[in-house]
């Protein structure tokens, strides 16, 4: 219907940071609040989509009308995202840790005479690139985010090509923009054009994260 253009569509949305354990009491994390990803999940649901929100550790309330799967690590986020397939739409808004500790300790690491421990890191799976891989389970529309502190459009266009997704929502998170943890966002929507290195670019005004999410959900509905 006109007010529920995504009725009958399934969506998977990733949101928030991941926590990568060092030992049972310590972890590596980042400053993502999950506000933008949670708002996208709510906006897709408001347009009638059947939404699975795969959320890292956040302090936000669960959005209404959305199935929420809570995870901690990137590996768990990937498994939960793939478990939510098949889907028509995937939106990867999570700030996935790029690295995990290669061999997390089973017991708390103790201070000792040998000095501080050395952490060996291993690369985490790229959830967006994995979901965007061609194949029968690929969602029709795969959307990623790109947070950059400079050359936002150039890096975002490169990311669109490299990750294999259809759209990138690019934002400037340079110090002073207040984007991280804030309520507003100023974004550019890049859509894959005829040539991957020449995307179609729309620049949106500074909006609340809720309004960015509503516009994105409407753009998705207009495309499917």
**Should residue 146 be labelled a site residue for ligand C5P when binding is judged by CB under 6 A?**
yes
**Should residue 96 be labelled a site residue for ligand C5P when binding is judged by CB under 6 A?**
yes
**Should residue 127 be labelled a site residue for ligand C5P when binding is judged by CB under 6 A?**
yes
CA distance 208 to 57: 22
**Should residue 139 be labelled a site residue for ligand C5P when binding is judged by CB under 6 A?**
no
Rg (CA), the chain: 18
Applying the rule CB under 6 A, the residues between 48 and 87 that interact with ligand C5P are 74
**Region of 89-97, 189-197, 202-210, 216-224 interacting with ligand C5P (CB under 6 A):** 89-97
171 tagged catalytic:
no
The verdict on whether residue 145 carries a ligand-binding annotation is yes
**Region of 141-149, 178-186, 190-198, 216-224 interacting with ligand C5P (CB under 6 A):** 141-149
Question: CA nearest 186: which of 168, 205, 200?
Answer: 205
DSSP 77-146: HHHHHHHT-S-SEEEE--B--SEEETT--SSPPPP-TT-SPPPPEEEPP-HHHHHHSSSTT--SEEEEEE
For ligand C5P, how many residues bind (rule: CB under 6 A)? 14
Catalytic member of 30, 124, 171, 185: 30
Phi, psi (deg, nearest 5) at residue 123:
-75, 140
Known binding-site residues equal 98, 108, 125-128, 145, 159, 163
């Amino acid at each position: 219907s006109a007010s529920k253009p995504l009725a009958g569509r399934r969506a998977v949305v990733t949101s928030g940071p991941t926590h990568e354990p060092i030992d049972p009491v310590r972890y590596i994390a980042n400053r993502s609040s999950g506000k933008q990803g949670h708002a996208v999940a709510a906006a897709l649901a408001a347009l009638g989509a059947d939404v699975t929100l795969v959320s890292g550790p956040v302090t936000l309330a669960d959005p209404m009308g959305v199935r929420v799967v809570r995870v901690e690590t990137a590996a768990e986020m990937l498994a939960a995202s793939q478990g939510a397939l098949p889907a028509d739409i995937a939106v990867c808004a999570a700030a996935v840790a790029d690295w995990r500790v290669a061999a997390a300790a089973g017991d708390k690491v103790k201070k000792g005479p040998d000095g501080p421990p050395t952490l060996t890191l291993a690369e985490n799976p790229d959830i967006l690139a994995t979901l965007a891989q061609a194949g029968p389970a690929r969602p029709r529309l795969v959307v990623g985010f790109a947070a950059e502190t400079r050359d936002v459009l150039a890096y975002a266009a490169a990311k669109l090509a490299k990750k294999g997704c259809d759209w990138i929502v690019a934002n400037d998170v340079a110090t002073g923009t207040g984007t991280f943890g804030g309520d507003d966002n100023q974004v550019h929507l890049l859509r894959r054009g005829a040539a991957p290195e020449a995307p179609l670019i729309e620049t949106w005004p500074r909006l609340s994260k809720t309004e960015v999410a509503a516009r994105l959900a409407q753009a998705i509905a207009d495309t499917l």
